[in-house]
Copies of this chain bind each other. A is one copy, B any other.
Amino acid sequence: MGKKISITSIAKHLGISTTTVSFVLNGKAQEKRISDKLVKKVMDYVEEIDYKPNSLARSLRTGKSNIIALIVEDISFPFFSAIAKEIEEKAYKNGYRIIYSSTENDAAKTRELIEIYQDKHVDGYIIVPPEGVEEKINALRLSGKPVVVLDRYLDNVETDHVLVNNYDSVYSATHYLIDQGYKNIAFITLSSLQSQMLDRLSGYEQAIQDNNLRPIIKEIAPVDSLEREKHLLSFLERKRKDIEAIIFSTNYICVSGLKAIKKLGLNIPEDIAIVSFDDYELFEMYTPAITSIAQPIESISENAINLLLSRLNRRTADVDKSPQKIVLSTTFIPRDSTAH
């Protein structure tokens, strides 16, 4: 039930100054010419009482919190939780903690989140941004905090980002289907202006055009998963005759599609072939196994956190050093759902 333990109480107990204790604790003993004898004395006592500095006080004084904000669309999505795992691990090893939240793709919520994290003086941000947070992110940058944008990019926002070659991936996946002999290929996506979604769509459209295969069959599915399933059910009911293959722009849309397809009793790939963007354990195990475009989750995470850490370690001045644009390749995994 002793006194509260702090750098001050340690100093008092040892009859020295807090300055000295602080220097020793921060490994500046050499530099600040504290004698070895005194260093040992301090260290021994600190060890003995198992002292741990109060990081709040330290943060207040230094302006660094050693906290990184991770703002994703939905932490419960396998893609994002896998990223969260990797990023946390690497950040941890570098002395940083992660504070997270889900935006649900809501711009207002995201802006609010960012404000709160600013108050908390987090040191850096990894953000999967919805549309409509451009100015906020630019403001962040201007305030000197490093920001890494993930999974998509924002026009007019000069910041580091790491994402995947969405356009090329879908282009060549579409091409693959065409090579397999499929002609009427549909693309199912969400009503979203997010860059990754638009790029995937463009990849599909361009591949169709380049192969003189009209028409483009683009279908917009609802965001809500129950509604989406219903929507896809009726879509397929109407169009089953006109479509030989479908590319889904995300794995969860694909899951809805699979449910609808099952309900209609359609056979994959005989009646309809399937490709999904973003792999999922389910796709490997499904009958038949679903062809997918797998994102390099580990590499995405690693690049993102490395980028951020390197900014954090550099001196403030070069925050406005030219932003890094990292674009990673996906892996196309052909499975039974596209076996002609």
Residue A322, interface by CB 8 Å: no
In the assembled complex, A53 has its CB within 8 A of some CB on chain B: yes
Q: Which residues of B contact A48 (CB under 8 A)?
A: none
Q: Are A56 and B52 in contact (CB under 8 A)?
A: no
Q: How far is the CB of A164 from chain B (nearest CB, A)?
A: 19
Q: Which of B56, B81, B85, B255 contacts A120 (CB 8 A)?
A: B56
Q: How far is the CB of A127 from chain B (nearest CB, A)?
A: 16
Instruction: Quote the shortest CB–CB distance from A139 to chain B (angstroms).
Output: 11
Given contacts A84-B75, A285-B258, contact A100 B102 (CB under 8 A): no
Mark A281-294 against chain B: 1 for CB-CB distance below 8 A, else 0: 11001110000000
Complex-state Cα separation, A67 to B56, whole angstroms: 12
Which of B52, B84, B100 is within 8 Å of A115, CB to CB?
A: B52
CB of A258 to closest CB in B, whole Å: 6
Q: Are A99 and B102 in contact (CB under 8 A)?
A: no
* Residues from chain B with Cβ under 8 Å of A102 in the complex: 85, 88-89
Copies of this chain, how many? 2
Q: What does the 1/0 interface line of A95-120 toward B look like (CB < 8 Å)? A: 00111111000000000000110111
- Please give, as numbers and ranges, the residues of chain B lying within 8 Å of A54 by CB-CB distance: 60, 119, 121
Whether B75 contacts A78 by the Cβ 8 Å rule is no
From residue A179, how far is it (CB to closest CB) to chain B in Å? 28
Query: In the bound complex, do residue A84 and residue B76 qualify as a contact, i.e. CB atoms below 8 Å apart?
Result: yes
Q: Does A55 contact B (CB under 8 A)?
A: yes
A40 in the interface, Cβ–Cβ < 8 Å? no
- Given the interface pairs A281-B255, A285-B255, the reply to whether A100 lies near B100 with Cβ below 8 Å is yes
Nearest Cβ in chain B — how far from A64, in angstroms?
Answer: 10
* A–B complex contacts, Cβ < 8 Å, 21 sampled: A52-B115, A54-B119, A55-B119, A55-B121, A56-B59, A57-B60, A60-B60, A75-B81, A75-B84, A76-B81, A81-B81, A81-B84, A88-B100, A98-B99, A98-B100, A255-B281, A255-B285, A258-B285, A259-B285, A282-B282, A286-B287
Task: Name A's B-contacting residues (CB within 8 A).
Answer: 52-57, 59-60, 65, 67, 74-78, 80-82, 84-85, 88-89, 92, 97-102, 115-116, 118-121, 255, 258-259, 281-282, 285-287
